[in-house]
Structure 1
């Protein structure tokens, strides 16, 4: 029964990573046309708040648990991780490229694995087949992502042109290093976001309410940061058409849709399973570039994608085996309790 249970989270995370890939491409296009990443962050989170806040309370008005202080301070921490990761990601892509942004998402599974072990959400059980599969799957994922990004090989589809070069090659080395540092920071905060969200869902299992409150807080935080950092008041006008497209896409798809999907998956699988899908952004970004921008498809991209799929399958296989063991233990415990229940009652009556 473990595989069917993981099927919907698997599909959900593929959809979530597709949304993230699209946001990287669209936001880079908007920033290249002059849109400020601070302003995009504020407007997109505000739009997500307008959409999610009333929707969440309409759907859950009859069963809204009270938001205690223990829940609220965790959501504040979640919002801080999300806000800094959001702005760090936008800034990193602005200084470098969406390609580097997708490459450094490879760090997320490693960070998440370490944090999950530190906070005892995962156990490093290398002596068990499920633990070994998850560990090896993580390494294979990182290897596949590294192949896709570091090795090109021969072109399979479309021909590379010496006349056109990616925008990010025009960036100075200093900007490239700064962009990489910001993206690495965003990767760590993304992993921390998944861990914090998992702890919240354990005590307050209503995903839509959490994400709605989260968006309100992130909007306020990003607004404060934008007012301090963005000195050009005309940037708030979003004169560039791509800026408006970026805000609409980020608010409706990347935040509202993706964060709800990720929260739903986190409650059912935990942070390790969810963060394992981040390297998939490389594959999806390559497909988007191939279809919409006529990018060149290289042997390295195909080889890396195949290894990525093997790594994902290995992690899911390990998670499925772990769930099967848990089901067996719970079933045997239930059987044991049922076996002893009648004699205990009989002893009391006697």
Structure 2
């Protein structure tokens, strides 16, 4: 009886955690987009969220691996180049494309287009002759930030941008697989490519948002959202994804992507009076 109960807990704990992660991700980003509709600059939000997330993630990653095995030196030219391109494809490009894609579509379209990631990854792995699904660290397959609510205006343009975002994530995923094989301490890899992506996002945001007043932070809901999003996306969700992938395998985390569609639909219809449209 105890053995059966232990096996049930082993299955239910990661399952429950992953469902909660999907629900929190959708709910938090819907609230964030609502704040953006109220005047918060999306470029400022992305830059500050990634900056704070990197500040939190860097010391946390060393604490996470403080009992791990010794890995090769971290600050080598090949690894630094990998961190640069991981940050570019997995943070800077994917986040900005995803945001503008959602701006022209809807939260459900964002979730559906995210389901293209496994298929595109498989095709790219064939093209590059690399078995991307052999590594456990496809865990952080979701971009750290996706905004999940907007009024659908231009569905074709929005879907195209989201497909491009998914392609960027797949390129990031292939680079990440090779990086983890060279340096298996995952959270350190995540922290350093997040730092690289933060720098790239900040440069882009400064170019796009030149209103100095938009960069001034105040003690209000916007600041609270930045702090919560940074803590959740960089530390909590990353830890859960990595832990579940190590326990259940690399395909376990992507299996929960369809839950995002359920949460996005439920939240949109319940709290934001969205309507469903047949044929889109």
**In the TM superposition, what is the alpha-carbon distance from 1:102 to its structure 2 partner?**
2.0
Distance in 2, matches of 1:115 and 1:260, equals: 27
Check whether the contact 1:95–1:179 (CA below 8 A) recurs between aligned residues: yes
Describe the superposition over 1:23-82 as per-residue Cα deviations: whole angstroms up to 9, x where unpaired. Answer: 431232122112122111111111112211122223434655321433332222211112
Deviations 1:72-125 (A, max 9, x none): 3222221111221112222222333323222322222221232344422349xx
| CA distance in 1 between partners of 2:114 and 2:46 (Å) | 19
| Cα separation, 2, equivalents of 1:278 and 1:82 | 17
Match of 1:168 among 145, 151, 163: 151
Does residue 69 in structure 1 map to residue 80 in structure 2?
no
Provide the residue aligned with 2:144 in structure 1: none
Confirm whether residue 211 of structure 1 aligns to residue 194 of structure 2: no
Map of 1:9-88 to 2, 5 A cutoff? 10-11=15-16, 13-61=18-66, 63=68, 65=71, 66-67=73-74, 68-83=76-91, 84-88=93-97
Structure 1 segment 192-341 matched on structure 2, within 5 A: 192-238=171-217, 241-266=220-245, 272-289=251-268, 293=271
- Write out per-residue CA displacement over residues 214-257 of structure 1, whole angstroms, 9 at most, x where no aligned residue: 22111111111111121222221256945324322321112332
- Contact (CA 8 Å) 2:101, 2:157: kept in 1 or not? yes
Greater Rg, structure 1 or structure 2?
Answer: 1
Q: CA RMSD in A?
A: 3.3
Residues 79 and 238 of structure 1: CA distance in aligned 2, closer, same or farther (over 3 Å): same
CA distance in 2, matches of 1:167, 1:14: 23
1:305-337 C-alpha deviation (Å, 9 max, x unpaired): xxxxxxxxxxxxxxxxxxxxxxxxxxxxxxxxx
Residue 105 of structure 1 pairs with residue 106 of structure 2: no
Aligned partners of 2:104 and 2:150 also within 8 Å: no
Match 1:89 to one of 83, 98, 102: 98
TM-superposition CA deviations, 1:148-197 (whole Å, max 9, x none) = xxxxxxxxxxxxxxxxxx9615x3x3xx4433222221122223333332
2:57 is paired with a residue whose SS is helix
| Contact persistence 1:28–1:94 (CA under 8 A) | no
The offset of 1:6, in angstroms, is 7.5
> 1:286 is paired with a residue of what secondary structure?
helix
Give the match for residue 304 of structure 1. none
CA pair 9-73 structure 1, distance change in 2 beyond 3 A = farther
Q: Superposition pairs for residues 100-179 of structure 1, below 5 Å?
A: 100-118=109-127, 119-122=130-133, 168-169=151-152, 171=153, 173=154, 176-179=155-158
Normalising by structure 1, what TM-score? 0.60
TM-score normalised to structure 2 length: 0.73
Give the Cα separation in 2 of the matches to 1:240 and 1:177: 38
Check conservation: 1:91, 1:179, Cα contact below 8 A. yes
Aligned to 1:212, the other structure's residue is in SS state: helix
Partners of 2:33 and 2:150 within 8 A in 1: no
**Which has the bigger relative contact order, CA under 8 A and spacing at least 6?**
1
Q: Is the 8 A contact 2:103 2:150 kept in 1?
A: no
